[in-house]
Amino acid sequence: MIVINRKERDKQLRRADILKAAEHVFASKGYYEATIQDIAQKAQYGTGTVYLYFKDKNALYFSLLEEKIRSLTDAIRGRVEEAKGSRKKLEVFIQESLDYFEKNQDFFKLYILEKNSVQLIMSKRIASSAVEYGTEYMEKIISLAQEERVVREDCKPSELTDILVSILGSFVLNWINKESKRAGTLKDKAGLIFNIFLNGVAKK
Amino acid sequence: MIVINRKERDKQLRRADILKAAEHVFASKGYYEATIQDIAQKAQYGTGTVYLYFKDKNALYFSLLEEKIRSLTDAIRGRVEEAKGSRKKLEVFIQESLDYFEKNQDFFKLYILEKNSVQLIMSKRIASSAVEYGTEYMEKIISLAQEERVVREDCKPSELTDILVSILGSFVLNWINKESKRAGTLKDKAGLIFNIFLNGVAKK
DNA sequence: TCAATAAATGAATTTATATTCACATCACAA
DNA sequence: TTGTGATGTGAATATAAATTCATTTATTGA
């Protein structure tokens, strides 16, 4: 029995090796220009090995996306739950998102690329469910904020969510690209983003 | 002489046929899943004909992007120029962008997909110059708005531009996807977007 | 009408990768 | 130590699409 568990655990570790390599390769080249060879090499396995753990390239890609999105959402959810009141929840949501993306830059690239292509090109891409899972929770917070009269009511929660997600995205993207001279951490931007989201860019 | 001009004009028309077909196919399938055959078929030419007008698939794609982005920017620039004061210019910029995207939905899809991948994956993708050309002008308006103390000064014009572009993008995307039940025209959203950009989403 | 030239065509070729599979290697139990 | 099943491997195969090019078709000017 112990043997089986041990083996099972090792298997999961090797699977994780491949996912990690895939994350990096997909993020730097994009889905189509990333080859299975690239990924296998990065993970230090032979090409064929990848197929022992994933049905095909597509399955590998979506397993990756799905698992990372789940981990992102779960990471954020805990902290937000603790915060009291929609205002505070929003603030924490922003902070935690930034923190997570700062630590998972490769994932961010996949997420932002996928978010648009899923919404646009749809196709067979099953990931939409995972992407939705990611924003669904945000929508609840916004709904709450509307109930508490913190946030304007002339937009649907989903629209407001999209706005916040895009603003967040634009800051993360800027920060990631500015790898040379970066003022501080990404999380430092949280206050600014919160403020812009709530009060806009007008000079007060 | 007349003959040559006539010929030259016809040639441009055929080139435009192909670009138009390419726009639609690339927008619905994405770059990699769009095939030259698809495009040729859509344009009602044979496969080989495409190569008489464009060096290869990549050149076709970037010619398309480049020309559309130029046309977008030129369309907007005129109207914005007329408007007096940064506040009004911003307002017009938003209106005209929405109007253009409403009329060029396929192009919007390409633009939004490309914007992120250019910023992220860079690679050989030359289009970055064209994409920059598109936002460069917006930045000037924002700079002006900062000088006129209309807009907060704790962000760089480029950051504020990115924010506005993302907010715009999220509205356009929503509108495009909601093809079934759409309240009104996309341009109707201009006031709301302007207001959110300047004053945020807080309940006033 | 008829060469001669230009343009269009799509089948054949090339190229690039995903995927498979026969064989090699490893880990472990006896 | 060795036999056995589980894993790993990368060269060989399959597939799909980009690109080319010999041939066909259209256009033009005399």
Are A7 and A46 contained in the same domain?
A: yes
> What DSSP character marks residue B186?
G
Instruction: Give domain status of residue B168, yes or no.
Output: yes
> What is the pLDDT averaged over residues B127-147?
81
- Using CA atoms, how far apart are residues A28 and A22, in angstroms rounded to an integer? 10
The reported pLDDT for the residue numbered B124 is 45
- Using CA atoms, how far apart are residues A95 and A99, in angstroms rounded to an integer? 6
- Residue B28 belongs to what domain range? 1-54
Instruction: Give domain status of residue A204, yes or no.
Output: no
pLDDT band of residue B24 (cuts 50, 70, 90) is very high
Nearest residue, CB atoms, B170 vs list A27, A117, A166 = A166
Are B44 and B66 contained in the same domain?
A: no
Q: Name the least confident of A4-13, B37-46, B72-81.
A: A4-13
Instruction: Give domain status of residue B127, yes or no.
Output: yes
The reported pLDDT for the residue numbered A168 is 94
Are A46 and A119 contained in the same domain?
A: no
pTM reported for the whole predicted model: 0.89
Using alpha carbons only, give the angle A104, A142, A150 rounded to the nearest 5 degrees: 125
Q: Tell if A189 CB is < 7 Å from nucleic strand C.
A: no
Residue B186 reports pLDDT greater than 60:
yes
pLDDT band of residue B5 (cuts 50, 70, 90) is low
Question: Helices (H) and strands (E) in chain A — how many of each?
Answer: 9, 0
Average pLDDT of chain B is 88
CATH number at residue A4: 1.10.10.60
Residues near B198 by beta carbon (within 8 Å), at least 6 away in sequence: A200, A201, A202, B90, B151
* Distance from residue A107's CA to nucleotide D8's C1', rounded to whole Å: 28
Note which residues in 58-117 of chain B have CB less than 8 A from chain A: 109, 112-113, 116-117
Asked if the C-beta of B144 comes within 8 angstroms of chain A's C-beta atoms, the answer is no
Instruction: Give domain status of residue B204, yes or no.
Output: no
User: A99 to each of A139, A186, B78, how far by Cα in Å?
Assistant: 20, 7, 42
Are B46 and B63 contained in the same domain?
A: no
Contact indicator for A121, B110 with CB cutoff of 8 Å:
no
Tokens describing residue B169: 């993008």
What long-range pairs does B40-47 form, CB within 8 A, spacing at least 24? B43/B17, B43/B18, B44/B17, B45/B14, B45/B17, B45/B18
User: A46 to each of A42, A50, A52, B69, how far by Cα in Å?
Assistant: 10, 7, 11, 44
pLDDT in tens, B98-136: 999 999 999 998 888 777 776 666 544 445 566 666 688
Are A65 and A142 contained in the same domain?
A: yes
Q: Which of A90, A114, A170, A186 to mutate to test the interface with B (most CBs of B within 10 A)?
A: A170
Asked if the C-beta of A124 comes within 8 angstroms of chain B's C-beta atoms, the answer is no
CATH number at residue B164: 1.10.357.10
Query: Can you give the pLDDT of all 204 residues of chain A as single tens digits?
Result: 334 456 677 788 999 999 999 999 999 998 999 999 999 999 999 999 999 999 999 999 999 998 998 898 888 999 999 999 999 999 999 999 999 999 999 999 888 887 777 666 654 444 556 666 668 889 999 999 999 999 999 999 999 999 999 999 999 988 988 887 787 899 999 999 999 999 999 998
In window 8-37 of A, residues with CB < 7 A from nucleic chain C are 33-37
Are A66 and A8 contained in the same domain?
A: no
On the 0-12 / 13-18 / 19+ scale of CB atoms within 10 A, A184 is exposed
Nearest residue, CB atoms, B202 vs list A151, A167, A169 = A151
The reported pLDDT for the residue numbered A34 is 95
pLDDT in tens, A123-142: 444 455 666 666 888 999 99
Are B14 and B65 contained in the same domain?
A: no
The reported pLDDT for the residue numbered B121 is 60
The reported pLDDT for the residue numbered B2 is 35
Are B107 and B12 contained in the same domain?
A: no
Nearest residue on chain A to B123, alpha-carbon basis? A29
CB contact under 8 A, B200 and A198: yes
> Which nucleotide comes closest to A57 if you measure CA to C1'?
C18
> What DSSP character marks residue B184?
S
Number of cross-chain residue pairs from A and B with Cβ atoms under 8 Å apart: 129
Tokens describing residue B125: 């993708």
Are B80 and B16 contained in the same domain?
A: no
Number of domains in chain A: 2
> What DSSP character marks residue B154?
S
pLDDT band of residue B171 (cuts 50, 70, 90) is very high
The reported pLDDT for the residue numbered A10 is 79
* DSSP states along A167-181: HHHHHHHHHHHT-SS
Contact indicator for A92, A32 with CB cutoff of 8 Å:
no
The reported pLDDT for the residue numbered A43 is 97
